[in-house]
Amino acid sequence: MKAEDYDRHDALGLAGIIRRGEVSAAEVCEAAIARIEALNPALNAVVAQRFDRARRQAREVAPGTTEIFAGVPILLKDLIQQHCDLPATEGTRLLADRRAARTSELTSRMEAAGAIVLGRTNTPELGLDATTESELFGPCRNPWDLERTTGGSSGGSAAAVAAGMVPMAHGNDGGGSIRVPASCCGVFGLKPSRGRNPTGPPPYGALCSLLTVEHVLTRSVRDSAAMLDATCGVRPGTLFALAARHSPSFLAWLRRPPKRLRCAVLDEPLFNQDLHPACRTAIHEGAKLLSRLGHTVELVGKLPIDANALAEAFLVLLLAECAHVIEVFRSQVGRRTRTREMEPVTWVLNAIGRGMSSTELAMALTRVQDAQWAMQRFHASVDILVSPVLAAPPLPLGREPITPIEQVLIRLFHRLLMPPLTWILRRRVRREAFEWVGYTQLANLTGLPAMSVPLYWTADGLPIGVQMSAGLGEEALLFRLAAQLEEAAPWFDRRPGPVSERQDNPSQARGSTVQTHLH
């Protein structure tokens, strides 16, 4: 299969030509592997592979097979979800040698739909950062500009999809980790409602399930809808679960254009961050497009939430879950964690999380519940909330939330210096958490579905996504709107320039609308 033929199909398109016998699954698999091998040295998106086993699986896919994604190559993010053939490092040196004991529920559902997992994608340590630059694997580079971040924490998956390595890749989203990299890399990313997809496996517990959902990043809207059809539904007794599966299927809903929608546009800071002019322009351009499509569009000055209280609640939940997960990992390795096995910022987050009180946690959960009720009332009169994904375009690589001097102090004298350091750094962690990524966390806290739609590119070729969210359980409405936007302002063929030509000269990293090529 020629590279250009592989590149022009989405996942459902590839499955279709395999099903009709126009190409074999083995040929598609080889095309994907060739693309990864050619582009990954420049991007560092894929950090583990199972190419030989994938090849064997692909050879067993026969024409006419009925699985919706039969023979389609995908990648699995190296966080939370596991595959029995692959490492499960969570992006940290502490687990650098860890192998998955079994395949996770969501991963198994993807494979049952016919998808073939080729490997794992880069992620920041424990998924804690909004940029994918772990010490274990090194930075993942944005196909549109090799000196820019892919976002996080599903940065490797977003880069792989944007560069055309695979048509879709797994991601999870606990504070924007699907939507942020989707915005940075110019692909489509939907965060489903809380309780729509299975989460896990352990040690990620209740707080993770409260904030985090699992899904994929894709180039087309229909691929995202079809994969949610294949994976949605949780077992009875699950702590967070929607009442029932959606009917008809999400994919079938795409054939029904949405009615005239009531859209509220938020173009002001949500958590006190400064909004870059390009991101404000992206929102206004998105609003104009919605208006041209016949939807009602109005500016909303303020949402019915206490933003400061909610920001503090998010930070408390994030820190508490960080401390919990690290404690479980410590018990699994059977010894105390060494400072060199975790990044300095993770040490700080863990120390702060361990020092929080049960009262802080209870108050955070109360604020989350209040916000969820408030936003459900808001969506009783507003179908779609339109807002930025990020406060600025993709940032340059190399952002340091903790100074080099502080990193040295933490590594050498962490036990002695932690009490005063935690007081100083907690304020900074909160600022860092909302300075650039300050619009996506609301959907995680309230459980609402939200998506990043690639509708805007800056003058120098950097993508900026537009975020749209809806009421709880309204993924079908978001998919229908996204399909309408995709038809009105197509993005599928808008790709980064040839990445492999820029491998040895990252300064030539500006994106363009030129088709990506293999060399």
**What are the DSSP E strand ranges found in 127-282?**
133-134, 138-139, 141-142, 145-149, 168-173, 188-191, 213-218, 262-265
Residue type, 17: I
Catalytic residue from among 177, 193, 209, 500: 177
Catalytic residue from among 24, 77, 387, 452: 77
> In this structure, is the dihedral angle defined by the CA atoms of residues 19, 78, 442 and 394, taken in order, positive or negative?
negative
Report how far residue 410's alpha carbon sits from residue 417's, in angstroms, rounded to the nearest whole number.
Answer: 7
Catalytic residue check, 249 = no
DSSP 22: S
Q: Name the nearest CA neighbour of 280 among 297, 293, 266, 267.
A: 267
Secondary structure class of 12 (helix, strand, coil): helix
Residue type, 177: S
Report how far residue 19's alpha carbon sits from residue 269's, in angstroms, rounded to the nearest whole number.
Answer: 48
Report how far residue 387's alpha carbon sits from residue 395's, in angstroms, rounded to the nearest whole number.
Answer: 19
Catalytic residue check, 177 = yes
Residue type, 265: V
**H or E stretch covering 291:** helix 277-292
Residue 66, CA distances (Å) to 109, 110, 112, 114 in order: 15, 14, 11, 9
Report how far residue 475's alpha carbon sits from residue 518's, in angstroms, rounded to the nearest whole number.
Answer: 35
* Cis before 143 (ω within 30): no
What single string gives the DSSP state of each residue in 383-440? SEEEEES-SSSPPBS---SS-HHHHHHHHHHHHHHHHHHHHHHHHHHHHHHHHSS-SS
Catalytic residue from among 153, 193, 220, 387: 153
- Indicate the length of the chain as a whole number: 519
CB 181 within 8 A of CB 207: no
Task: Name the token pair of 389.
Answer: 């994904």
Secondary structure class of 457 (helix, strand, coil): strand
DSSP 3: H
Residue 1, CA distances (Å) to 5, 30, 156, 459 in order: 7, 8, 25, 35
At 318, phi and psi to the nearest 5? -60, -45
Q: Name the nearest CA neighbour of 447 among 191, 163, 153, 68.
A: 191
What single string gives the DSSP state of each residue in 314-364? HHHHHHHHHHHHHHHHHHHHTSPPPGGGS-HHHHHHHHHHHT--HHHHHHH
**What are the DSSP E strand ranges found in 334-405?**
384-388
CB atoms within 10 A of CB 292: 11
Strand partners, 262: 296
Catalytic residue check, 153 = yes
DSSP 515: P
Report how far residue 219's alpha carbon sits from residue 495's, in angstroms, rounded to the nearest whole number.
Answer: 10
Residues recognised as catalytic: 77, 153, 177
